[in-house]
Amino acid sequence: MPRLPGLSKNLSAFLTTITVSEIGRPLMAVSDEGYNVIVGSTVERPYLFKSYATHPMRYNPAVKSDAAGAYQFMGRYWFYYKRALALTSFEPYEQDRIAICLIRECKAKEAVEAGDFGQAIHLCRSRWASLPGAGYGQHENTLDFLAKAYTDAGGVVA
């Protein structure tokens, strides 16, 4: 699923797991694997953006968010990461780069690479509201559900 080349099997599977958690496989199937999804989308009513030139910045008052993309990045953080990572667009591979940066910020990359899946999810829960223990008051997926998504994507649990 990730579009950034050269990723390890576990990092690629972990990125896919985040997208499955945030977007869900049904919505991934009716979009560009989630990369063009705007928060508030459903399979029946997908809100998709057409241009990857920049973060779409479409605020959804029903959910009080402007999250977008496969990893549901908030618009307010887009400009920081655009500058910090010298991003040229919101293309899928650039979204992958931001997600990897967030994983590193959470000090979870080593756990991801080592296949310490539960620890990696625990460390990243502050960045993605759908992860167990995130505490944002939104739907949180179970660790078992996410572990299946991870192994289905080719990840290896140590």
Which residues form the catalytic set?
A: 22
How many whole angstroms separate alpha carbon 52 and alpha carbon 24?
21
Cα of first residue to Cα of last residue in the chain, in angstroms, is 22
Residue with tokens 């140590």: 158
Query: DSSP string spanning 15-69?
Result: HHHHHHHHT-HHHHHTTTTTTTBBTT--SSS--B-S--SS-----BTTTTB--BT
Say if CB 154 and CB 1 are below 8 A apart. Answer: no
Per DSSP, the three-state class of 106 is coil
